[in-house]
């Protein structure tokens, strides 16, 4: 295949990002980093350790784990053939399958259960719209080797803490139990029977018709308005559940009650992947008008065996980073909180002009960094005026100004940017400057 990178006039074609795949721009990234730091801190405080798995996995991994008759596998995967060896590969649409693959391959569950998490890009070929992208990012959190409902309750409590730490309210929790395989098989029989009694309507809906025998559970997820009355009257899985599953769900609910976590039971909640069993949950926000699922997950006790490993109970969830950022930005502006630039605001911006001053400026900058003070040294030969404007724009508290006079006297002018006050400080005793810069932070914080 030849790919044209020049237009008819032999000029480079302007290349743009793939539709549904976005850039994170520098003006957005302070908030993004704050979010990621908050996530890391919360996850660490519950004992979760970071793992990373490849973005590309064998296509079979997803077919085997998510299920052949699912939206993701049927129509959303970015799959391709490796031109070197003909392997069927796929850009990961989610991270649980890869994490389980890794646990089996490296046997890292051999002597104890593990809490792990990862964060990164996922790919689904969906129709892009607000909150739905083709490359998006998830925080994927997995607790493997844990059997009891306490672990999924803990994951929900963890998420509630994350919402609280972000200052997000009005995110509601929906829960359901989808039983184990034999209970689901029983439900499946009852569903097929029920839908067969209503074939006229089923035959008007292509997806429903196709899924009636392959995956009737997914019919319950249909957004087709004509199907809703039929769906509402369908046999409920809860009526097929035996005592073990019911007990698991009861205990899970009790744990949420004890933690004062409000929830609604949504018997129609079925997740988009086939590997789930028993508990499933979703956190939903309506802050932007329509319902937006921010995070969803549940148990997947059968997945290890399904992928050829030893049986291990497990539970996890994925949080959609772009969606949480959307809601968070909305919430911050509703609370009149401007985007914090904080983490990118240097304490000092070093301005220098004149022969030989660059060397001194670089030297001072490194000494500040040695003392863990965050500074930016102006790069390039611009005028003092331009450099001071950059200093203001950076949000720094001080400009440290070095001209030829300062170089000669081995000193800097410290300018407090908020007030315009300035005075000279000798560099003969660097500690004096360091102390001055750090001790004034609090006072100056108030002025600013």
Binding residues for ligand AMP, rule: CB under 6 A, are: 94, 124, 126, 131-133, 136, 138, 271-272, 293-296, 318, 320, 322-323
- For ligand AMP, give the closer residue by CB, 102 or 394: 102
Smallest distance from ligand AMP to CB 43, Å: 16
Smallest distance from ligand AMP to CB 343, Å: 24
- For ligand AMP, give the closer residue by CB, 128 or 354: 128
Q: CA separation (Å) from 334 to 36, 168, 236, 338, 392? A: 21, 11, 40, 10, 27
- For ligand AMP, give the closer residue by CB, 302 or 346: 302
- For ligand AMP, give the closer residue by CB, 94 or 183: 94
State the number of CA atoms in the 13 A half-sphere of 401 facing the CB.
23
Smallest distance from ligand AMP to CB 96, Å: 8
- For ligand AMP, give the closer residue by CB, 138 or 357: 138
User: What are the beta bridge partners of residue 79?
Assistant: 90
Q: CA separation (Å) from 210 to 184, 216, 256? A: 19, 9, 38
Q: What's the CA gap between 105 and 110, in Å, rounded?
A: 11
Q: Which long-range contacts (CB under 8 A, 24 or more apart) does 44-50 make?
A: 46/115, 46/154, 46/158, 47/115, 48/115, 48/116, 48/117, 48/141, 49/114, 49/115, 49/116, 49/117, 50/116, 50/117, 50/118
Name, in order, each residue with C-beta under 8 angstroms of 296's C-beta and a sequence gap of 6 or more.
271, 280, 281, 282, 283, 317, 318
Smallest distance from ligand AMP to CB 360, Å: 49
Smallest distance from ligand AMP to CB 295, Å: 5
Q: Are 12 and 5 in contact (CB under 8 A)?
A: yes
- For ligand AMP, give the closer residue by CB, 138 or 215: 138
- For ligand AMP, give the closer residue by CB, 98 or 272: 272
Smallest distance from ligand AMP to CB 93, Å: 8
State the number of CA atoms in the 13 A half-sphere of 95 facing the CB.
27
Residue nearest to ligand AMP (CB): 320
Smallest distance from ligand AMP to CB 174, Å: 11
Question: What H or E segment, with its residue span, contains residue 231?
Answer: helix 228-232
Q: What is the largest CA-CA distance in the chain?
A: 95
Query: Packing angle between helix 243-258 and helix 149-166, nearest 10 degrees?
Result: 30
């Amino acid at each position: 295949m030849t790919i044209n990178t020049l237009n008819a006039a032999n000029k480079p074609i302007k290349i743009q990002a793939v539709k549904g795949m976005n850039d994170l721009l520098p003006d957005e990234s302070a908030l993004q980093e704050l979010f990621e730091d908050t996530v890391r801190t919360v996850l660490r405080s519950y004992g979760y350790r970071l793992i990373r798995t490849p973005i590309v996995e064998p296509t079979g991994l997803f077919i085997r784990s998510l299920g052949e008759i699912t939206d993701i596998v049927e129509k959303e995967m970015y799959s391709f053939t490796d031109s070197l060896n003909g392997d069927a590969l796929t850009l990961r649409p989610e991270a649980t399958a890869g994490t389980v693959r890794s646990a089996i391959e490296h046997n890292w569950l051999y002597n104890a259960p593990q809490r792990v998490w990862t964060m990164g890009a996922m790919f689904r070929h969906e129709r892009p719209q607000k909150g739905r992208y083709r490359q998006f990012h998830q925080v994927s959190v997995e607790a493997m080797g844990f059997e009891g409902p306490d672990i999924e309750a803990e994951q929900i409590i963890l998420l509630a803490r994350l919402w609280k730490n972000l200052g997000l309210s009005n995110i509601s929790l929906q829960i359901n139990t989808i039983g184990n395989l034999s209970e689901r098989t029983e439900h499946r029989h009852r569903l097929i029977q029920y839908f067969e009694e209503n074939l006229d309507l089923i035959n008007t809906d292509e997806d429903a018709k196709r899924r009636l025998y392959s995956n009737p559970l997914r019919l319950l997820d249909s957004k087709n308005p004509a199907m809703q009355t039929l769906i509402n009257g369908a046999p409920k899985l809860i009526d097929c559940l035996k005592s073990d599953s019911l007990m698991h769900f009861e205990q899970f609910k009790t744990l949420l009650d004890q933690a004062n976590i409000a929830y609604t039971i949504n018997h129609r909640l079925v997740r988009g992947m086939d590997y789930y069993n028993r508990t499933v949950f979703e956190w939903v926000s309506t802050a932007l008008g329509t319902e937006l699922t921010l995070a969803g997950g549940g148990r997947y006790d059968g997945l290890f065996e399904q992928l050829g490993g030893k049986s291990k109970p497990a539970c996890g969830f994925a949080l959609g980073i772009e969606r949480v950022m959307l809601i968070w930005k909305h919430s911050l502006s509703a609370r009149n909180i401007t985007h914090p630039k904080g983490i990118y605001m240097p304490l000092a911006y070093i301005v220098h002009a004149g022969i030989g001053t660059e060397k001194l400026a670089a030297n001072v900058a490194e000494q500040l960094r040695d003392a863990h003070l965050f500074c930016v040294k102006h790069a390039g030969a611009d005028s003092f005026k331009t450099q001071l404007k950059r200093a203001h724009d950076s949000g720094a508290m001080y400009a440290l100004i070095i001209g030829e006079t300062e170089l000669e006297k081995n000193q800097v002018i410290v300018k407090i940017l908020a007030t315009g006050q300035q005075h000279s400080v000798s560099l003969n005793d660097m500690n004096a400057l360091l102390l001055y810069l750090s001790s004034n932070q609090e006072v100056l914080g108030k002025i600013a």
